[in-house]
Chain A
Amino acid sequence: MPYHEFDCSKCIPERKKHAVVKGPEDDLTKALPLGYLNTIPGSISERGCAYCGAKHVIGTPMKDVIHISHGPTGCTYDTWQTKRYISDNDNFQLKRTFATDVKEKHIVFGAEKLLKENIIEAFRAFPEIKRMTIYQTCATALIGDDIDAIAQEVMDEMPDVDIFVCNSPGFGGPSQSGGHHKINIAWINQKVGNVEPVITSDYVINYVGEYNIQGDQEIMLDFFRRMGIQVLSTFTGNGSYDELRSMHRAHLNVLECARSAEYICNELRVRYGIPRLDIDGFGFEPLASSLRKVGRFFGIEERAEKIIEEESARWKPELDWYKERLTGKKICLWPGGSKLWHWANVIHEEMGLDVVSVYTKFGHQGDMEKGIARCEVGALAIDDPNELEGLEAMYKLKPDIILTGKRPGEVAKKIRVPYLNAHAYHNGPYKGFEGWVRFARDIYNAIYSPIHQLSYLDISKDEIPDDGGFKTQRMYSDATLPEAVKTSSAMREYTGKYDIIAELRKREYPEFNKKQ
């Protein structure tokens, strides 16, 4: 498995060990890209900072909380309204963001008094909210404000409030990943074990590393509830602060994103003896086997099987419709940290797409190991990619679609590679059986967009085709399909609604009798 040297990065030789091409019979021990190392300055890397890893990725999806950043307003403003983590309390955490607005005088004389005023003002503005998280930023870390002391002082004065402090300044580590780690550990150190939950089921889990992007968490909770499993807490999407303080009472930690949240699972195992089970909500087979694993752990496999059977019967014909039309299309999986390995392989198996490249901005070598093991032979794996390498890769690989962030998606657009938002999704949720079909639908609509096809035509040089005033996606996608496939009644296009979460929130669940 040879390292891949980008032409654009020949002048920075330390980049050479950050990319590999997967060979036909190579094993992973031969070559694995280096990962989670310091960023090369000026390379126009796509990485964020440790503050955003803590606050933006993990902290703010928590729904019933005032999220204050202690620093100038920029950190707060810039990370606000850039993701789609919804919640069932009218999206309080999406709509509100708080900054202590540190100014020059505070840098000189300290900003602790300012912080305290802010905390009190914020609780006063939203009297129904009694929980708060405070995030340190570069500026307040450097001036050495004792945020923990101020938080304690306020809690002593206002007994009905509870405050969590996360000290994760932007410079703390090579990427956002440093912040994931810090907030995981801070949460278990400060908050877990503080609240005793009411246990209503024989089967109690924490759902960890799930951020409810466009409703992913609610889709998965639906399955757990149908199995009669009590979900004590979700870390952190649509998660409740107090529920997350009771994580220590779960029987099992079900872990979705092992990149951002394995730390807290590992600590819960060490401190409270709660086992960790890694699952995967993306794709029919990974999801089915995940539900089976959870069922098997509790001895309620038949409940999982029932769900798998119902959901597969409902949605498999629709997934297959897309698979027929996406087979052989080339895809780059260029997300942030873990989705490369969540999606590699299953996207090939179940949608027929060939993964020609994986990359990770803040993943570690373990993420690459899994990602490379699951992608197609010949695929290019890149750690901490930068602007020019991304372009060079797209020119070379000519993918039909890439899954990446919003801004890199705009880069791809200009060289006529359609993109889907890997972090916030286009028309998600993408988890669950239906969600996976929605994902396939979005990929299909991107690849076969008639407008996208028009972008190849140079009207000044090319023959302008005289073939009508419109095209449909199917005129492109079905052009070479066998007649039997085209007319098959066993398959159909996606039939779900635009918003599938609103109805889910009204759903009622069967009672399962508790044994003891």
Chain B
Amino acid sequence: MNCELKTKERSGVINPIFTCQPAGAQFASIGIKECIGIVHGGQGCVMFVRLLISQHFKESFEIASSSVHEDGAVFGALNRVEEAVDVLLMRYPDVKVIPIITTCSTEVIGDDVDGVIIKLNEELLSTKYAGREVHLIPIHCPSFVGSMVTGYDTAVKDFVAYFAEKGEPNGKINLLTGWVNPGDVTELKHLLSEMEIDATVLFEIESFDSPLMPDGNFVSHGNTTIADLRDTANAYGTYALNRYEGTKAAKYLENKFSIPAIIGPTPIGIRNTDTFLKNLKRMTGKPIPESLVRERGKALDALTDLVHMFLADKKVAIYGNPDLVIGLAEFCLDLEMKPKLLILGDDNVTYGDDPRIKALQENVDYDMEIVMNGDLWELENRIVNEGLELDLILGHSKGRFVAIDHNIPMVRVGFPTYDRAGMYRYPVVGYGGATWLAEQMANALFADMEYKKNKEWVLNMW
């Protein structure tokens, strides 16, 4: 077999690809309007995640901490949750949704977060805050399980499961985007709008790219409302774009409310976008309009300019969130490129069951490795010690030094991408994303040719 699926052999992590579960839950929580999460644990679990998110978006988002100190770690820290909820509600009159996100420390000490929420509902919320709409939602995120990806998946499911409420059919579909950027949401909504499909988008994060206004609008936040979340039970279908980020919620809605779910494939590249539209058509009965034929044509036109001249046979390594990595690999293959190494950064044992990975194993006709539970040393070690030759790296900013130190051009993609300007504004999904990705890759190769004086004269005429 040419494509080998393997697990990292080392037990530890050198330069991690992912952070832990609470970060994923925090990322999901900021997508909801009038929501401020409380992370139950040490303060660093919030401070650094807020920093990470602000590095990526160049915006600040509000997330609170229960600030567990030594006494809490010894004697239990549920009193800190009670106080945190009260302080937050007193000072943020608009807040309605408060997920209580646990961490490794508070899971290890065994704080009964579900129990304290019952207590708060019965006591604090029904007395001091009687008449105010407040939703406390436990989200269990022990950091020693899964990764930020599973934390996100769990949190989306917990939000949906908490709010979803059967009512009248709303004539919409639920679109679970997974961990994406504002640019992706814009592109997805554009495709839906061309198809004349009404959708509840989880989450409405276009507003993460927030303006600097003359009247001073200081908070960036998502725009998914409680009503949106409730109404997820009344859709006629759920489309989860990512197998690993949103599927739990889609399955929940399917099991609980009999809403049929489609899971993926992640619409990265032309072919996967085609499938996305086909599935939408099947789900809604709406035709694919001429406008999208044209749009697809423009993308194909742009790609044709690049593929066999510049992109063909270029060797690529890709790391990051699993759906993104797999989607990018598929697209690269369509672009005649050769993904040599895919790194999936956590110990999810189901990667081997992913039909997309199976298809790679069956059809790739050159040597390709897919490393599970991987880290960035899996990439760098192969370059330094095992002779891996690469023309391009696709991944997030934490791996920047692999590219820098080994003079390999890199396109920043995924989360976080803090060392390049404005990446969150652009899509990787849809036809627009396909064009943008291919052109980014080509331009990265062009800049590298010029920098290294490697047939830079080729571009004299093109």
A9 touches B91 (CB 8 A): yes
What separation, in Å, do the CA atoms of A312 and B405 have in the docked complex? 38
Q: In the assembly, what is the distance between CA of A11 and CA of B108, in Å?
A: 33
A97 partner residues in chain B, CB cutoff 8 A:
14-16
Chain A to chain B contacts (Cβ below 8 Å), 5 pairs: A47-B67, A73-B147, A95-B401, A104-B142, A406-B55
With an 8 A cutoff between CB atoms, is A481 at the interface?
A: no
CB B59 to nearest CB in A, in angstroms, measures 5
B20 near A74 with CB under 8 A, answer: yes
The residue from A80, A170, A175 contacting B398, defined by CB atoms under 8 A apart:
A80
Residues of chain B contacted by A515 (CB below 8 angstroms): none
Q: CB < 8 Å: which of A75, A76, A114, A456 contacts B214? A: A456
Interface residue ranges of A75-127 to B (CB < 8 Å) = 75-82, 94-104, 106-107, 114, 117-118, 121-122, 125
What residues of A have a CB within 8 angstroms of the CB of B50 in the complex? 407
Closest Cβ–Cβ distance, residue B334 to chain A (whole Å): 32
Does chain A have a CB within 8 A of B121? no
Give the bracket for the number of chain A residues in contact with chain B. 35 or more
Q: Which residues on the B side are within 8 Å of A173 (C-beta)?
A: 69-70
Given A41-B66, A43-B91; A98-B73 close (CB under 8 Å): no
Whether the pair B69, A42 counts as a contact (CB closer than 8 A) is no
Chain B CB within 8 A of A155 CB: no
A38–B67 contact, CB under 8 A?
A: yes
Q: B289 on the interface (CB 8 Å rule)? A: no
On whether the beta carbons of B398 and A78 are closer than 8 Å, the reply is no
Q: Are B86 and A42 within 8 A (Cβ)?
A: yes
Q: Which of A459-491 contact B (CB under 8 A)?
A: 462
A68, A171, A416: the one contacting B212 at CB < 8 Å is: A416
Contact mask for chain B residues 38-49; partner A; CB cutoff 8 A; 1 contact, 0 none: 100111110111
A384 to B149, CA, bound (A): 32
Query: Shortest Cβ distance from B82 into chain A, in angstroms?
Result: 8
State A44–B61 Cα separation when bound (angstroms).
11
Residue B260 CB within 8 A of the other chain: no
In the assembled complex, the CB of A379 is this many whole angstroms from the nearest CB of chain B, namely 23
Task: Please measure, in the bound complex, the distance between the C-alpha atom of A464 and the C-alpha atom of B369, giving whole angstroms.
Answer: 59
A102, B144: Cβ atoms under 8 Å? yes
Whether B60 and A8, one on each chain, are in contact in the complex, defined by CB atoms closer than 8 angstroms, is no
Q: Mark A404-440, 1 if CB is under 8 A from B, else 0.
A: 0111101101111000000000000000000000000
**Cα A351 to Cα B10 with chains together (Å):** 54
B14 contacts which of A72, A98, A143, A388 (Cβ < 8 Å)? A98
Which residue of A has the minimal Cβ distance to B89? A42
Q: Which residues of B contact A341 (CB under 8 A)?
A: none
Residues of chain B within 8 A (CB-CB) of A449 are none
User: Is B266 on the interface with A (CB-CB < 8 A)?
Assistant: no
Instruction: Answer yes or no: A289 CB below 8 A from chain B CBs.
Output: no
Q: Is the CB of B42 within 8 A of A170?
A: yes
Q: Is the pair A100, B105 in contact by a Cβ cutoff of 8 Å? A: no
Of B177-185, B215-223, B356-364, B422-430, the stretch lying at the interface with chain A is B215-223
A44 to B36 CA separation, bound complex (whole angstroms): 10
Report the minimal beta-carbon distance from A270 to chain B, rounded to whole angstroms: 26
Indicate the member of B54, B91, B109 with the most A CB atoms within 10 Å. Answer: B91
Residues in A with CB closer than 8 Å to B18 are 73, 77
Cβ–Cβ contact B144 & A47, under 8 A: no
Report B358 CB to chain A, min CB distance, Å.
Answer: 26
- The reply to whether B44 and A52 form a contact with Cβ atoms under 8 Å apart is yes
**Bound-complex Cα distance A457 to B83 (A):** 42
B139 CB, nearest partner CB in chain A, Å: 15
Say if the beta carbon of B58 comes within 8 Å of chain A.
yes
Q: Is B19 an interface residue (CB 8 A)?
A: yes
The answer to whether A76 and B16 have CB atoms under 8 Å apart is yes
Tell me the chain A residues, 43-80 only, with Cβ under 8 Å from chain B.
Answer: 43-52, 68, 71-80
Q: Which residues of A contact B63 (CB under 8 A)?
A: 44
What 0/1 pattern do residues 62 to 86 of B give for CB contact below 8 A with A? 1111111110110000001101111
B87 at the interface (CB under 8 A from A): yes
| A interface residues, Cβ below 8 angstroms from B | 8-9, 11-12, 38-52, 68, 71-82, 94-104, 106-107, 114, 117-118, 121-122, 125, 137-139, 141-143, 169-175, 387-388, 391, 405-408, 410-411, 413-416, 455-458, 462
B103 at the interface (CB under 8 A from A): yes
Q: Which residues of B contact A (CB under 8 A)?
A: 10-16, 18-23, 36, 38, 41-45, 47-52, 54-55, 58-60, 62-70, 72-73, 80-81, 83-88, 90-91, 103-105, 108-109, 142-145, 147-148, 210, 212, 214-220, 347, 377, 381, 397-398, 401, 405
Tell whether A49 pairs with B45 under 8 Å between CB atoms, given A99-B13, A117-B11.
yes
CA distance A121 to B347 in the complex (A): 19
Contact B68 A171 (CB under 8 A): yes
A-B complex: 10 closest residue pairs judged by Cβ atoms: A74-B20, A170-B42, A42-B84, A49-B44, A41-B84, A78-B48, A118-B12, A42-B87, A138-B105, A458-B214
A46 to chain B, nearest CB (A): 7
Which of A42, A72, A405 is the one whose CB lies under 8 Å from B66?
A42
Q: Are A415 and B216 in contact (CB under 8 A)?
A: yes
Note all chain B residues with C-beta closer than 8 A to A9.
Answer: 91
CB pair A78 B23 closer than 8 Å? yes
Q: How far is the CA of A104 from the CA of B42 in the complex (A)?
A: 19
Q: Smallest CB–CB gap between B90 and chain A, Å?
A: 4
Contacts of A94 on B, CB cut-off 8 Å?
A: 401
Complex: how many Å from CA A215 to CA B216? 36
State in angstroms the CA–CA spacing of A262 and B88 once bound together: 36
B155 to chain A, nearest CB (A): 15
User: Are B87 and A407 touching (Cβ within 8 A)?
Assistant: no
Q: Bound state CA distance, A482 and B451, in angstroms?
A: 47
Contacts of A71 in B (CB 8 A): 104, 143-144
Q: B16 is contacted by which of A39, A99, A171 (Cβ under 8 Å)?
A: A99
| Smallest Cβ-Cβ distance to A460: which chain B residue | B214
Q: With A77-B19, A414-B217 as given contacts, are A42 and B14 in contact (CB-CB < 8 Å)?
A: no
Which residues of chain A come closer than 8 Å to B220, judged between CB atoms? 414
**Residues from chain A with Cβ under 8 Å of B103 in the complex:** 138
Given A42-B86, A43-B91, A117-B11, verify A139-B214 contact (CB < 8 Å). no
Q: Is the CB of B41 within 8 A of A407?
A: no
Least Cβ–Cβ distance between A177 and chain B, in angstroms: 12
Asked if B15 and A171 sit within 8 Å, CB to CB, the answer is no
Q: Which residues of A contact B38 (CB under 8 A)?
A: 41-42
Contact status B66-A104, CB under 8 Å: no
B22 — nearest CB in chain A belongs to which residue? A74
CB-CB < 8 A to A118: which residues of B?
11-12
Distance to closest chain B CB from A126 (angstroms): 9
A415 CA to B143 CA in the complex, in Å?
A: 35
Residues of the B chain whose Cβ atoms lie less than 8 Å from the Cβ of A455: 212, 214
B64 contacts A44, C-beta separation under 8 Å: yes
Contact present for A104 and B145 (CB under 8 Å): yes
Measured in the bound complex, the distance between the Cα atoms of B216 and A74 in whole Å is 34
Given A82-B55, A103-B145, A410-B54, decide whether A74 and B64 contact each other with a Cβ distance below 8 A: no
Q: In the complex the two chains form, is A138's CB within 8 Å of B73's CB?
A: yes
Check A106–B13 contact: CB distance below 8 A: no
Shortest Cβ distance from B80 into chain A, in angstroms? 5
CB neighbours of A171 from chain B (8 A): 41-42, 68-70, 72-73, 105
Q: Point out the residues of chain A lying under 8 angstroms from B13, CB to CB.
A: 73, 76, 98-101
Please report the C-alpha to C-alpha distance between residue A97 and residue B38 in the assembled complex, in whole angstroms: 28
Q: Given A42-B66, A104-B142, A413-B212, is A139 in contact with B104 using a C-beta cutoff of 8 Å? A: yes
Residue numbers in B under 8 Å from A415 (CB-CB) = 216, 218
Contact assessment for B12 and A68 in the assembled complex, using a CB-CB cutoff below 8 Å: yes
Q: Which of A79, A125, A407, A415 has the most CB of B within 10 A?
A: A407
Contact A40 to B47, CB < 8 A, known contacts A74-B19, A81-B398 = no
